Amino acid sequence: MTRGSFVSRDGDNNWAVTAQAQGWLDSGDDVYLARHIQANVKFFAELLAGITEETRVADLLDLAKSYGLAWTSSDQVNRRLSWLQSLGLLERWGFSRLVVTALGHEFLAQAELASPDEAMGEAANQGEMGEVLEIPEVDPIVESVLNDLTPTDLAQRRTIIGYIPRGRKAAGAPTLPERQGGIVESARIFLEFLEDGASVDEIFDRATEALSQKKSSFTQSMHTFRNMGLIDLVSFNRYAPTEVSTVVLHPGNEIDLVRYLHSKYRFIGELISLLQETVSVTEMVKVAASDFGCSQIDNSEIRTRLSFLVDAGLVERIDWSRYRATRLGLAIASTLPAEAVVPVGVVNEELGEHLILQP
Q: Are 341 and 291 in contact (CB under 8 A)?
A: yes
CA 280, 285, 287, 288 dihedral sign is: positive
**pLDDT at residue 319, rounded to an integer:** 77
Q: Give 92's strand partners.
A: 98
The total number of structural domains that make up the chain: 3
**Residue 307 backbone zone (phi > 0: left; psi -120 to 50: alpha; other: beta):** alpha
Dist. CA 180–CA 26, nearest whole Å: 29
Task: Please tell me whether residues 33 and 89 are part of one structural domain.
Answer: yes
Considering the domain architecture, whether residues 227 and 283 belong to the same structural domain is answered as no
Q: Is residue 149 part of a domain?
A: no
- Domain of residue 12: give its range: 7-119
Backbone phi, then psi, for 127, in 5-degree steps? 75, 175
For residues 244 and 260, state if they share a domain.
Answer: no
235 and 309 in a single domain? The answer is: no
What's the pLDDT at 343? 60
**CATH of residue 217:** 1.10.10
Domain stop point among 193, 225, 248: 248
- Does residue 99 sit in the same domain as residue 11? yes
| Angle of the 327-335 helix axis to the 254-264 helix axis, nearest 10 | 40
Is there a domain that residue 152 lies in? no
pLDDT of residue 118: 77
pTM of the complete model: 0.69
Domain match, 262 and 291 both: yes
CA distance 175 to 284: 40
Question: Does residue 126 fall inside a structural domain?
Answer: no
Residues 234 and 259 both lie in one domain: no
Q: What residues does 239 pair with on adjacent strands?
A: 198, 233
- Residue 171 gets the label, from left (phi > 0), alpha (psi -120 to 50) or beta, of beta
**Which of 192, 213, 248 is the C-terminal boundary of a domain?**
248
Q: List, in order, residues 6 or more apart from 217 with CB less than 8 Å away.
A: 163, 165
Domain boundary among 248, 278, 307: 248
- Domain-embedded: residue 128: no
Q: How many CA atoms lie within 13 A of 291 on its CB side?
A: 16
Sites in the chain below the pLDDT cut of 70: 2-4, 11-12, 121-132, 167-181, 342-359
